[in-house]
A and B are shown apart, each in its own frame.
Chain A
Amino acid sequence: MNVFRLSGDVSHLLAILILLMKIWKTRSCAGISGKSQILFALVYTTRYLDLFTSFISPYNTAMKVFFIASSYATIYLIYLKFKATYDRNHDTFRMEFLVLPVLVLAFVVNHDFTPLEILWTFSIYLESVAILPQLFMVSKTGQAETITSHYLFALGMYRALYIVNWVYRYYFEGFYDLIAIIAGVVQTVLYCDFFYLYVTKVLKGKQLTLPA
């Protein structure tokens, strides 16, 4: 474990807590893409199947359980509890356009052709594009609530910090995993446009609006 990975995990945890707080406090999931949350639940479910087979540390297990539980709780809040506030008309990204190519790629490019490893690879590839429905929804509505932009910033920073962690591990531990690194870079690049708007607008107290 290193400070970059730890701060990445904390940022990830913070993002999830901000999202849950936003939905629970405002009793509304306006502006939140349910499709991205479904994709995240799929990412954690397929990646953390080793929860029962390999024990790394109490921290690792606790975080995995939290990520899985919170992703399903968010889906429950969006599609059941506060479904009247779910903005279905603006959450129209076709998830199959993400899941199918990622599934094929996981079968073609992986480290080991075993079920657990292919599911892990699928999860890594899917996570890199899982935010697209949410970013698409923000661009379609042309704006995002400030709390939602904080959620996206924390979520984007988590994998950006993981990239620093991979550089650190390469130089100090000699380990690297190209699948995780390339997917992580793609994932972070997808946020760049949003990061620019967040820094130039939200941090100056303005509303996050996109040029419609």
Chain B
Amino acid sequence: NKRMQKHDEL
């Protein structure tokens, strides 16, 4: 699965 860019969420 396409990973979220470097965990840009809190």
CA gap between A162 and B4 in the complex, in Å: 14
- Whether the pair B6, A180 counts as a contact (CB closer than 8 A) is no
Question: Which 10 pairs show the lowest CB-CB distances between chains A and B?
Answer: A177-B4, A56-B8, A175-B4, A63-B10, A54-B6, A175-B2, A9-B10, A111-B3, A178-B1, A176-B1
Assess whether A180 is in contact with B9, with CB atoms less than 8 Å apart.
yes
How many interface residues does B have (CB within 8 Å)?
A: 10
Residues A51-104 near B (CB distance < 8 A): 54, 56, 60, 63-64, 67
Q: How large is the interface on A (under 10, 10 to 19, 20 to 34, 35 or more residues)?
A: 20 to 34
Binding site for A on B (CB under 8 A): 1-10
On whether the beta carbons of B10 and A175 are closer than 8 Å, the reply is no
Does A60 contact B10, Cβ atoms closer than 8 Å?
Answer: yes
Within 8 A of B (CB), among A2-27: 5, 9, 12
Among B1, B3, B7, point to the contact of A50 (Cβ < 8 A).
B7
Contacts of B1 in A (CB 8 A): 176-178
A selection of 9 A-B contacts at a CB cut-off of 8 Å is A50-B6, A56-B6, A64-B10, A111-B3, A169-B4, A175-B2, A175-B5, A176-B4, A177-B3
What residue of chain A has the Cβ atom nearest to residue B4's Cβ?
A177
